[in-house]
Amino acid sequence: MPGKQRRDAEKEIAGPRLDDIIDPGHPLAKLNAAIDWKLLEGHLGGSGEAAAHGRPKQVRLLLGLAILGRLYGLNDEALFARWLENPYFQYLCGERQFRHAFAYDRAGLSEGLLGIGPDKLRTLLRAALAAGLGFAPEELPELKRLGIEAENIAKPHRREQNAKHVSIYDVAKAAGVSIKTVSLVINRQPNVSLKTRTAVLAAIEALHYRPNVFARGLASDRSYLIGMLHDVPPGSYIADLQLGALARCREEGFHLVVEMLNPLEEHSLSRRVRALLSESVLHGVILTPPLCDVRIIIDELIKAHTPYVRIAPGVRMAGSPVISIDERQAAYEMTAYLIGLGHKKVAFVMGKPDHGSARLRFDGYRAALGDAGIAVQEAYCAQGFFTYQSGLEAGERLLSLKQRPSAIFAANDDMAAGVLAVAQRFNLKVPDDLSIAGFDDSIVAQVVWPRLTTCRQPVKEMAVAAVTLLTKRTAERPAEHILAHELVVRESTAAPAGA
């Protein structure tokens, strides 16, 4: 493997298998299943070999990006950013594992996307969809947004033309109950006997009935849609939140709607939130950092009478439910641990300035230094943005100092992994020459070597708790729910030489 490719592969960190986290009922998952990708790649001349490590062919990636860009009206920069944090985007592009780095030629892809205009994309998709993979065009409204009408697609060859669509009426008949009783069971209402509930569930299973989430909303006072709003950090934090929320939503019979918002676009933020609430009729919303501190978003949710839960906010607001850990105390404990090993030169890589949690972690670092009688040195405080790339840049800056630190504490694991890569390039042995610590205990902390000492933040559990609060049938929600953090010591930290 050439040197550059090897470095790219080492730099790229893979997350969980996408098959384990993808909801087959998600629109993009359904669209992915409906397309004959081999046929589509063939139409575009895709005969090259697949990349190493199970990565998709370049032509498959290009086609997936073309569809997503047209579907959501994204320019190339926004498209690449959203690919990094959205598992469904990566799934449509042929990935097998969730990726935290974009190890592709962006300039080449941008040039390739210019050659796939809307007319060409529609022609290609009609050909690939006409092959027929057992779907009905009307089941995929995304096609209409791509400019493809159902009548322009040939009927699927593998679908039985006379196959009957299973409805709630069929379930009621099979179970020997009324439609209302079936609806009560589907909506998990308590006033149904165990015998009747068992009969209905058996009929649902036997007939492979899949209730329409919107029909369920009409039959009750709930929409069965939970929204999760976030900005565009490409790290594993949002992916873990999505995993936790998705798992809990499935248990509760809800669907998760994920939406990306840019908090800096204040002129359009209110309009976008209103549009989301009116189009999706969300039962509740989970706000992640830094959106959980954006007053414009919260005001729109309050106006729409939409319940919400804020995860890890940096600003306290009266009357808003919060799920968090004690960010300041967790960072304090990590810094104190490094000082306790004997480190006097402890540097810190800060998170995004607009994240309240980033400020709290920095405060904890400074407080621990102050309590140990160690002055905070500005040169030892490097700005990062919760990304692997910013960790590389911060590590380069800190390790280029004449008086380099003996320990570096990064405000998340992605940045700590970047610092680790720079340390190895500087021929520094970790932890003999340099101790490195992170924050979150994401999958990144466990796949790099040496494995990262980190502060475990129960990210998935936080998302589970948020969904649980929103799906409760009572309007009462606790003002604040603090989850426990944990210091996890691994091989990346040790006492400094001579201590």
Q: Is 258 a member of any domain?
A: yes
Mean pLDDT of the chain, nearest integer:
81
Q: Is 252 a member of any domain?
A: yes
In the block, residue with structure tokens 């990566």: 90
Cβ atoms 106, 256 nearer than 8 A: no
Most confidently modeled of 216-220, 249-253, 369-373? 369-373
Q: Is 46 a member of any domain?
A: yes
| pLDDT of residue 46 exceeding 90 | no
Q: Is 134 a member of any domain?
A: yes
What confidence score (pLDDT) does residue 159 get?
Answer: 38
Within this chain, do residues 361 and 429 fall inside the same structural domain, yes or no? Answer: yes
In the block, residue with structure tokens 């980190």: 454
Within this chain, do residues 310 and 370 fall inside the same structural domain, yes or no? Answer: no
Within this chain, do residues 52 and 70 fall inside the same structural domain, yes or no? Answer: yes
Residue 409 CA to residue 438 CA, distance in Å, equals 6
- pLDDT bin (cut points 50, 70, 90) of residue 151 is very low
CB-based burial, 197-210: b 16+ in 10 Å, e otherwise:
bebbeebbeebebe
Residue 146 CA to residue 358 CA, distance in Å, equals 39
Q: Is 356 a member of any domain?
A: yes
Helix (H, G, I), strand (E, B) or coil at 266: helix
What confidence score (pLDDT) does residue 277 get?
Answer: 79
Looking at per-residue confidence, does 337 or 184 come out higher? 337
What confidence score (pLDDT) does residue 149 get?
Answer: 60
Cβ atoms 286, 227 nearer than 8 A: yes
Within this chain, do residues 51 and 136 fall inside the same structural domain, yes or no? Answer: yes
Within this chain, do residues 234 and 284 fall inside the same structural domain, yes or no? Answer: yes
Structure tokens at 333: 């404990």
| Domain limits for position 71 | 3-152
Within this chain, do residues 41 and 69 fall inside the same structural domain, yes or no? Answer: yes
Looking at per-residue confidence, does 114 or 350 come out higher? 350
Within this chain, do residues 362 and 291 fall inside the same structural domain, yes or no? Answer: no
Within this chain, do residues 319 and 260 fall inside the same structural domain, yes or no? Answer: yes
| pLDDT of residue 215 exceeding 60 | no
Residue 8 amino acid letter: D
Within this chain, do residues 147 and 172 fall inside the same structural domain, yes or no? Answer: no
Q: Please choose, from the candidates 401, 398, 373, the residue with its C-alpha nearest in 3D space to the C-alpha of residue 383.
A: 398
| pLDDT of residue 391 exceeding 90 | yes
Within this chain, do residues 310 and 397 fall inside the same structural domain, yes or no? Answer: no
* Mean pLDDT on 185-209: 78
- pLDDT bin (cut points 50, 70, 90) of residue 146 is confident
What confidence score (pLDDT) does residue 154 get?
Answer: 44
Angle of helix 58-72 relative to helix 76-85, nearest 10 degrees? 110
What one-character DSSP code corresponds to residue 494? -
Residue 111 CA to residue 132 CA, distance in Å, equals 31
Residue 170 CA to residue 356 CA, distance in Å, equals 52
In the block, residue with structure tokens 């606790």: 478
Within this chain, do residues 8 and 41 fall inside the same structural domain, yes or no? Answer: yes
- pLDDT bin (cut points 50, 70, 90) of residue 43 is low
What confidence score (pLDDT) does residue 1 get?
Answer: 45
Count of structural domains within the chain: 4
C-alpha 309: how far from chain center? 17
Percent above pLDDT 70 for the chain: 79
- pLDDT bin (cut points 50, 70, 90) of residue 403 is very high
Q: What is the pTM of this model?
A: 0.59
C-alpha 183: how far from chain center? 32
Within this chain, do residues 107 and 124 fall inside the same structural domain, yes or no? Answer: yes
